[in-house]
Amino acid sequence: MNKEKNKDFNPMERKKVVIIGAGFGGLNLAKKLEKSVYQVILLDRNNFHTFQPLLYQVATGGLEPGNIAYPVRRTFRNVSNFTFKMCNVESINHLETKVITSIGDVEYDYLVLAQGSSTNFFGNAQIEINSLTLKTVSDALDFRSNLMQNLERAINALTEEDKEELVNVAIVGGGPAGLEMAGAIAEMKNYVLPKDYPEINFKLMHVVLFEAGDKLLANMSESASAKALEYLTKMGVEVKLNTQVKNYDGKKVELADGTTFNSETLMWTAGVKGNLIAGLQDQVEAKGGRFVVDAFNHVVPFKNIFAIGDIAIQVQSDYPKGVPMLATTAIQQGVHLAQNFMRVAQQKEPKPYTYFNKGVMATIGKNKAVADIWKLHFSGIGAWFLWMGVHIYSLVGFRNKLVSLLNWTMSYFNYDRPLGLIIRKYNKQKN
């Protein structure tokens, strides 16, 4: 967006803003451009928005998929300048300003990349094939099915060693996703599974969290890290710091120090990378599968292509390695970019984006959470209710907010989770 573009702007000719990805950034950008002078076209492989921070709740039976997903089309009912296309984006032709998709080409005046991130296995093909991930609703359902299938098999296992391998759970990665999964599984082990599976001795079940660094929640305060470790340990989770997972064959976790851990369930949350799309990599600077953007979220050197959210690296004075890869960042960038589009339409200069840190939080279990809000640090029941309130407020759709609140209220008093259904069987071999 520059002065030359501003002079050519004609409100009678709707400029096409094509957004790839219906995540937090893309959805909020599209919503802020409702009834604007732009024609907004949103592309996504799914026809729904997923509230990713609560995927672990689906994976562990606390919520159902419909509680954290919301149809894109329903969000934009009666919005005349909005179009949604469900498709796979195959490549970008920046010379002809069009996006090549599985349903045909989509032309654009402005293109916004908001397709988010995917799991980074750091080149380890064995781990990628045999582990479980937590980036989509399908991932969450796969984990749930895998866990329940293993428990059913464990009932008929002949030896304690076989039973232990089936019920053990390994989690790799000490960030919020890893901690939330570990805490939820520990609560299941302590309060839910023994009632549903009285044939199994759950003293055999080990929930182990592996973290390659020397602390949990590396991007949070020392206070939050220490408190999270304390909570997990008291819940029975075995936390292994400074421990790198070298390989996993589907049954045995191999560690860098030569030791092993037997488990048929490994959840990998140890890293992410951007979902790059063919057509731009040779033209722009990309680091770790993410596009480098300037203060206006331009994908340098393009003036009509932008990137927001996890796919973008935006360096600021307080964030020399880039602003955090958080949902709040994507939302802020989406809203700010929409404001800049509106400024362009009004013949005004766009403004640079500055990240506003609203705080970071993570939950470990009932009444157990940590939160860093500016320079304040919270933990315990207060942080847990704060976490719950923020997530209920952030869910898309009134029904999702209400059902999630009711589910959590019931679980708060009885710890129970309706997780025993194996709706679809999980095939561990992905390839």
Residues carrying an active site annotation: 180
Sheet of strand 89-93, all strands in order from the earlier edge strand to the far edge: 89-93, 98-101, 104-107
Structure-block tokens of residue 221: 């305060």
CA atoms within 13 A on the CB side of 396: 23
Show the DSSP H helices in 172-308 as ranges.
176-187, 193-196, 222-234
Structure-block tokens of residue 66: 């419909």
Sheet strands (E) in 196-295: 207-210, 238-240, 245-248, 252-255, 260-262, 266-268, 272-274, 286-287, 290-292
φ/ψ of 139, rounded to 5, equals -60, -45
Count of residues in the chain: 431
SS3 4: helix
How many whole angstroms separate alpha carbon 229 and alpha carbon 209?
Answer: 10
Q: Pairing between strand 110-113 and 104-107?
A: unpaired
* Contact (CB, 8 A) for 377 and 72: no
Residue 370: how many other CB atoms lie within 10 Å: 30
CA dihedral of residues 48, 51, 57, 59 (deg, nearest 10): 50
Closest listed residue to residue 142, CA positions, set 430, 403, 404, 395: 430
- Of all helices (H) and strands (E), which one includes residue 341? helix 327-345
Greatest pairwise CA separation for the chain in angstroms? 77
